[in-house]
Amino acid sequence: MLDKYKVVIFDWDGTVMDSIAHIVHCVQQAAIDNRLAVPDEASVRNIIGLSLPEAFLTLFGEDKSADFERFRDNYKDQYVKNDDITPPLFAHVPELLTGLLEKGIKLAVATGKGRRGLDNAILRSGLGHFFSYSRTSDEAASKPSPDMLIQISRFYGVSAAECLMVGDSIHDMKMAKNANMDSIGVTFGAHQRERLLEAQPTAIIDCYSTAIGWLN
């Protein structure tokens, strides 16, 4: 299945790194610090993948927009304050990335994280040598806009039909659909299978060992 693609693009949180619980905790703690209504886990999972401004408006509403900058700073402080806590990678991620590169496929990242956050996460993950390009919410419109994917395909000089998006949220799937790009939804991140299916992804997998099997 993967032989038709020249570029595979990965979301980060909930797709490469098992960081969903950490994000939920940081959002909830930042809400507490700013005396905002604390969102439940399901609500936070629903906004994972969006840019932080979009996520804030979805969770707290336009009437709280004056609190955004303070919330943003609190959230980022929460996320990085303990360098000993690095969320683990999902099973078989290094093997999958290695197999894709061996097939001559280029690898990129499209994430709702900011540039500083992504660079820090990639450094701590030890996966930097796999990815040759990335786009973040600092450099493109928030998902589900196709802007990130358009920028990535142009960087590599390929069409959307030659690219594949891999992500764990409905926002990833809708972004790919808006870019006329194939997508794979993974069920071990922010959103479950039923939610991912709403955007009609090309495939859904429960473990990266399935994708490794496609390489062979």
Do 70 and 31 form a contact (C-beta atoms < 8 A)?
no
Token pair for 103 = 């097939």
Is residue 84 annotated as part of the catalytic site, yes or no?
no
- The active-site residue, picked from 11, 147, 168, 182, is 11
Do 163 and 181 form a contact (C-beta atoms < 8 A)?
yes
- The active-site residue, picked from 13, 147, 168, 172, is 13
Distance between terminal CA atoms of the chain? 10
Is residue 11 annotated as part of the catalytic site, yes or no?
yes
Strand order in the sheet with 133-135: 133-135, 106-110, 7-10, 163-167, 182-186, 203-205
Token pair for 17 = 């790194």
The residues annotated as belonging to the active site are 11, 13
